[in-house]
A and B are shown apart, each in its own frame.
Chain A
Amino acid sequence: MTTDNLSPAGGPGGTARPGNGAAPESRIHDIGYRGYDGPRLGRSYARRSLFAQSLRGAFGLGRSARSKIVPVLITCVLTLPAVIAVAVTMMSGADQLPMTYVEYTAGFEMVITLFLAAQAPQAVSLDLRYRTMPLYFSRPIETSDYVRAKYLATACAVLVLTALPQAVLYVGALLAKLDFADQTTAFAEGLAGAAVLALLYSGIGLVVAALTPRRGFGVAAVIAVMMLSFAAVSTLQVAADFNDAKGAVPWLGLFSPSTLIYGLQHAFLGAGAPFPGNAGPSTAQGLVYLLAVAALIAGSYGLLIRRYRKAGL
């Protein structure tokens, strides 16, 4: 007779109760499901959340303990020399840090590559492998939101990784009473270099990692691409330098991400000459480097957008 609207129907199975002896009717009872009509936080919130989650995931926060090992280890390995340098400076009372800020990232490109290799696939391959992409795109966020969030998160992660030791150097330098203005400019230069490095490396790392849903291959591919390009370029540079083709050396440096960063830092941020034979790009060549870096970053972004638009699943 009556269908209960808000309270669960009495009896198991919730059948209706006809008053007569006819066969029981079927009915579905409204047990209180209500749609949500309230305010929604919108696209930018979703983007920011994705960014935050990816960034935290890059350092293993919000994940299992095992996924914290590699990022924490690498962060420590990278920060330790800075700590030591500061200690040495303070104890020996020198008026200069044993290494400059910009040099710091240059010396550790292998370690940074390892971090990138471990975390870039973590950011993108898992979504591809477990086919969660449709879950993302059936929400208000667009392809560009996803790509931007992931790219920025990975870049920020690399930036944190490289900026942390530089910050340690800076604080230590100030504590050791080194010249404030000098140190601040140098720190700023170092951060600038680190920022460009972060953007460049993340772009390349993500493009390579997004090629395969298998995380292991992604790791391998990133390491291979970064290391082999560096090996190839430096081999060629050594050969060129050895054989009186010294003019070619700075131009060869355009062909690998690490040498691009080294070259940029030398041309604009006052780092030492990075290439064999004490060569480095002049300011003019440095502009070409800058263009190349910008092109690579833009290209990576574009490729990622294309990739996710096509394989949105």
Chain B
Amino acid sequence: MFTAFHPTVARLTYRALLGRRRALVLGILPALLVLISVAVRLLADGDPQSSTDVLGRFALAAMVPIIGVIAGTGAIGPEIDDGSVMYLLAKPVKRRTVLFTKLVVAIAVTMVFSAVPTLVAALILVGTTDGIAVAYTVAALVASVAYASLFLMLGTITRHAVVVGLVYTLIWETLLGSYVPGARSLSVQQWALAVGADLAEGKLITSEVGTVTGAVLLTVVTVVAAWYGARRLRSLTPATEE
């Protein structure tokens, strides 16, 4: 009996995540991405360098992680913060089921709001040439899984999960990643790129690590984060009133 997924938890999480305000915020970034893609297409007309720039720097490096942070932490953070998570935990439902269900919802939301727009943007920019569109979409998909899991776990650890998550993605992965080579090998972005890179022709997309390494690392991170998040949920104490 597959009891690791509970539809009620999923429904509650999904509704909390995509409440009116948050859906709007989540929608702004993909809209922006599509807008930029259109603009670049008009300006650069299919130049592969500019396109990979947009897709790599903007979509994969900024949009996917930010959506991952918002969806991952938003799937559990606010509930823990105001104490309403108690209604999920004071039930005869296994904590790992709660966490896993939330993870599935977070992954789904991240994928929809980041991988799908990435595909659209890529198609706008380069059409189906060279398999670039597929490559980046796959990279966005696997990155979504890892980010969602990582930030969901973060949401069970600290009340400042959003800030920490953002600092990690925007500063560690993007900023330091440009300057410190060591940081690049330790970044979800790079692993995701590695997985997608093979699907593009030639060496159009490069990454710091090999494909297999990237896939393994992504899986490890996802599984470990999910497991640890479930463990934290088992020992969750009620939040104080700050």
Contact = CB atoms under 8 A, between A and B. Distances in A.
Interface stretch (B32-40, B84-92, B183-191): B32-40
A239 B43 contact: yes
Given A231-B62, A236-B40, A224 B166 contact: yes
Contact of A235 (B36, B161, B165): B36
A236 B163 contact: no
Interface string A240-252: 1011010010000
B62 A239 contact: no
Contacts, number: 73
Given A216-B161, A220-B162, A220-B166, A236 B29 contact: no
A179 to B, nearest CB: 35
Contact of B160 (A110, A216, A228, A231): A216
Contacts of A245: 43
A219 interface: yes
A239 B58 contact: no
A217 interface: yes
A84 to B, nearest CB: 18
A238 B32 CA distance: 17
A227 B162 CA distance: 16
A219 B166 CA distance: 9
Interface stretch (B45-53, B134-142, B195-203, B204-212): B45-53
A236 B39 contact: yes
A242 B50 contact: yes
A313 B162 CA distance: 25
Interface residues of B, number: 32
A116 to B, nearest CB: 14
Contacts of B106: none
Contacts of A110: 175
Contacts of A220: 66, 69-70, 162-163, 165-166
A239 B175 contact: no
A232 B32 contact: yes
A223 interface: yes
Secondary structure dominating the interface of A: helix
B62 A227 contact: yes
Nearest to B166: A220
Contact of A243 (B25, B32, B44, B77): B44
Given A224-B66, A232-B32, A236-B39, A242 B166 contact: no
A228 B64 CA distance: 12
Contacts of B29: 224, 228
A238 B43 CA distance: 10
B170 interface: yes
A223 B170 contact: yes
B57 interface: yes
A204 B62 CA distance: 20
For B29, B50, B58, the residue with the greatest tally of chain A CB atoms inside 10 Å of its CB is B50
A267 to B, nearest CB: 23
A242 B163 contact: no
Contacts of A214: 78, 81
A231 B39 CA distance: 14
A132 to B, nearest CB: 14
Contacts of B53: 235, 238-239
A239 B55 CA distance: 13
A296 B81 CA distance: 34
Contacts of A232: 32, 36, 58
Given A224-B66, A227-B170, A235-B58, A219 B162 contact: yes
12 contacts: A216-B159, A219-B163, A220-B163, A223-B166, A227-B170, A235-B36, A236-B36, A238-B50, A239-B44, A239-B54, A243-B47, A243-B50
Given A231-B57, A243-B45, 14 more contacts: A216-B159, A217-B162, A219-B163, A221-B25, A223-B166, A223-B170, A227-B170, A232-B36, A235-B40, A235-B54, A236-B39, A236-B40, A242-B49, A243-B44
